[in-house]
Chains A and B, each alone.
Chain A
């Protein structure tokens, strides 16, 4: 797991997301995929946002992606980088970029998943640049 000094608020799992956060607690990053339209989506839902099928299921995800966009929040007690990362499996997810020089981030950069501890909850998926 990566270390960041900013305190990460704990996500609050619900009935629909409990399995995701349970997997995250075991270090596994999963995506929700629809069997009817054969597409993965984000954020994970029981009902496919593309075709409304209820035939969705959890699949293991690669944790690889590229930066779609980002912004370094300079006006914060501890600056941090918010980002959208487009996953190798297709969907683009909101996240943070960690373990990096904020001034050298770039759209299009390849990134890999790291789980970062949250404040009293399951670890949350974040990404760090890979060379």
Chain B
């Protein structure tokens, strides 16, 4: 069974808040759901499937389904960190194709900014995790786990800090047009290199923002999508993978995108050269560079050359990416950027991105997420969507 053409993304909503000390996490989930339903032209009673991940308060989907008082016949709370929501789109399409539901709601929300979260603080994780005792004593934070990937990539392929900086530069060129973006100032390569070193070789401006916020998506059956007044965004390919330390055969130079990407491209029947717009998970600049290579937008080791000189800037380069400003400049709600990746891809396919960054005749878009820690273990999820 394929999900190609079996489901559409009919609603997409990014909560405009970036700091919400006066709201609860459940409330932000609900506000995002309201936004997505209004965007699609659907109502609460239409929802018969619900998806959430580890940012949702309570056990799996139970508390949020109860808070929203939904009557659903399909739930899924698979958590692969920030990439969960791309996987949820795929799983929702599978459920729709199998007749298990017809309108699937996916929500994300969190308040890491109000709660003082930072990617520089080691996290203990769950002590019952088999890996925690082998990692927590060593101060695995978020940023240094990605930094080791960058360090090895530089060693093997000659990638430079200047090349990584171009990724932030491109994101900032897009964020200047987004009134909700946290960082709207256009920055230069020199600005990135002059920002304080956080974990070698990643500077402060190589890192994403920490923001409160949320988002929601509605994945619906084809007949429902066609009954709605919105442009049709069809799901045509999806892939997922997880990657860890491989029993000790550690290889930090590639991500799970090497495995999830080809699955999605094969299902969609398209190639990287066909993609008009790409949302690429940007927790850090190195995340983007490695995913671009692993997804096949350039050869392994050529990512640095590929991203340099504005190649990711809309209207300038060959592959416009993260035209909302991405996690690097706009928003990284709940420390999980997956849902905003799908939302901006939907905007592009509908022709509803900011005019300054809208890709002309955007017919084919890719969204990809990396969740967890690139340098220890992470989830990867790839989606390919088409304007119909």
Binding site for B on A (CB under 8 A): 6, 8-14, 16-17, 40-43, 45, 48-50, 68-76, 80, 82-84, 86, 90-96, 107-108, 118, 124, 126
Contact = CB atoms under 8 A, between A and B. Distances in A.
Contacts of A68: 152, 250, 252
Main SS class of interface, B: mixed
B245 A42 contact: yes
Given A12-B127, A75-B120, A95 B245 contact: no
Nearest to B155: A107
Interface stretch (B5-13, B85-93, B192-200): B192-200
Interface residues of B, number: 42
A6 B141 CA distance: 15
Contacts of A124: 137-138
Given A42-B248, A69-B155, A76-B139, A9 B131 contact: no
Given A42-B247, A73-B120, A73-B199, A84 B130 contact: no
User: Most chain-A CB neighbours within 10 Å: which of B132, B133, B140, B198?
Assistant: B133
A17 B202 CA distance: 34
Contacts, number: 121
Contacts of A8: 137
Contact of B133 (A11, A75, A76): A11
12 contacts: A6-B139, A9-B136, A9-B137, A11-B134, A12-B132, A14-B128, A41-B247, A49-B246, A70-B200, A73-B198, A75-B143, A90-B248
A86 B151 CA distance: 15
Contacts of B150: 71
Nearest to B253: A69
Which 9 residue pairs across A and B have the least CB separation, nearest first?
A: A91-B248, A49-B247, A71-B147, A42-B248, A92-B250, A11-B133, A69-B152, A43-B134, A69-B148
